[in-house]
Amino acid sequence: MKIRLRYFARVREKLGVAEEWVTLPDDIRTVDDVRLFLMKRGGVWSEVLSAGQLKMACQLQMAQPDTKVTEGCEIAFFPPVTGG
């Protein structure tokens, strides 16, 4: 399964990437599986994506860890929002 990943604000700056497409192994089902898969890249990936405050979105909606991922979907990782 191929999905689009996007990173915002401090998360984007620390990872040094704004967006990418990745091909996922077959056993990945949820947004949290994607997070754990990306953490295996090690270094800053492991550090940034393990932060307790990290927020995740799937298809432009706030996601829970168990939100299902589907072919071609867009998953985003970002810090708590600070608008207004």
Partner 1 sequence: MSIRIQTEDFDLSAELDRLRSDHRDIGAVVSFVGTVRDVNDDDGILSMELEHYPGMTEAALEEIESRARQRWDILDSIIIHRVGVLKPADQIVLVAVASRHRGEAFRACEYMIDALKTQAPFWKKEQTAKGGVRWVKAKDSDESALKKW
| Contacts with partner 1, residue ranges (CB under 8 A) | 6, 8-10, 53, 57, 60-62, 76, 78-84
CA dihedral 16, 79, 35, 13 (to 10 degrees): 0
CB of 49 to partner 1, least distance (A): 17
CB of 41 to partner 1, least distance (A): 22
* C-beta of 8 vs 45, nearer to partner 1: 8
H helix intervals, 1-84: 9-15, 31-39, 44-48
CB of 11 to partner 1, least distance (A): 9
* C-beta of 43 vs 83, nearer to partner 1: 83
* C-beta of 9 vs 44, nearer to partner 1: 9
Cβ count within 10 A of residue 6: 16
